[in-house]
A and B are shown apart, each in its own frame.
Chain A
Amino acid sequence: MAKNVFPPTMQTWIGRRLMDGAKGRSQVNRHVMEVYALPMRVYFLGTSDRWIGEPDEVVQGFFADRLARPGFFEDWQNSGLPLRRWLMNAFSFYLLELRRARRRDGRAGPMGDDPPTFSGDPDAAVDRAFIVSVVRRALQRARILCEEQGLEDHFTVFVRHHYQGRSYKHIGEEFGVDHARAAVMARTAGRKFRAALREILEQDGTSRAEIDQEIAVLLEAVGA
């Protein structure tokens, strides 16, 4: 087997972007904010700290505070944790800091310094939200890819069937094609969707060779 000459930090999309300076860092931050706004919101709403503030404001405050910190992503890469678990840990500490700040401001009664408690399974809740968020982003990217290649109808057929649950027979009638042609159109757009989804997972730290396994593990974890 050939020796892997790249250090671990270079093996991920994030690691490679971080080598590109401010521009790369900005791309990484954008990925995290786009994909993790929903999972972090879900996590926040499940904690005992949800009284602290409006969910979207708290999550955006977390991103603004932590993503700007030097070494934040380097520490993640050294942790060996999936990015969503690393962000959950960081968010938990951020909530603790907010709670202390509220106490200093006199906006909260005496409370302990324990990490926030979560009602239910936080890992499962975040995994479920992560899947929803990734799929939303993949659909958006696939639509853009299809539009760029003049495949708007193909994408609409794909959405009609896989998103809205309509049969190819009905879709074919809407587009004036037979059901077999409708299926072919959906498959063409489906390939764009699959590529977009896999790209997002790769950007999130999953190696290309492990994407199928990651999908299977996540679906099993959420009981799908």
Chain B
Amino acid sequence: MPDATPSTQHAAPGGGPPPDGRPLAIRLRAVAKTFGKGESAVRALRGVDLDVPAGALTMLVGPSGCGKTTLISILAGLLARDAGELAVFGQDLGALRRDRLSAWRRDNVGFIFQQFNLVPQLTVAENVSVPLVLKGESVGAAVRKAHDILATLGLEGRGASAPLKLSGGQQQRVAIARALIHEPRLLVCDEPTSALDAELGRRVMGFIRDRSRSPDRAVVVVTHDDRIFHLADTIAHMDDGLVRSVERRAPHIEPPQTAKQGSA
């Protein structure tokens, strides 16, 4: 995928508001998280400041153990922070009780896991339909919508297959379909290209980035894969529990792309 060379601005830790005036999707201030107690305590986050713009793809990069996974867990409402401020699309997640937080995640967040986590006993379409079923849609209607979104990802006719019958790339696209079927405002991806070859990884990331191009949406990707860094609108460099620097890039000028059809 050719990439127009983006203009890059390095901002201070936390990044500050996007220079192009895009609204903020996520705002973190002095967010801290410690695991364990006493001498065995591990300070995973030590006061993270970060502004994630809406309508853009933000990547969290950094060495293993720097706090990336902890950070996306917190901003996706999976993990409670110990200190600091966090607002996702204006919602203070710390103010939500556990059941309300589950409902908020159900309605607002899509997940793409590194391990895919596709249930092998369910069909591909049933796996994809889970977020809609959780929202109360009937299984039949949800599965029909799953077939539709699978078709847009080049997986027509594979809805009735078992996930394990698919290749790694196809499984990743199924996971993407599951993450997007309920049109979440926030898409959180954990190493989405780790199981894919370079070409397929680029294609998948292109599809994910296209989905971020809406003022009421945002995509946050945790990755080690420097082959896809150029696709990011914002790159937050993390180290030792802190966001050390933020690269802001101008929006890409290439037209939106979808993943090619056929087996990956």
A and B found bound together:
no
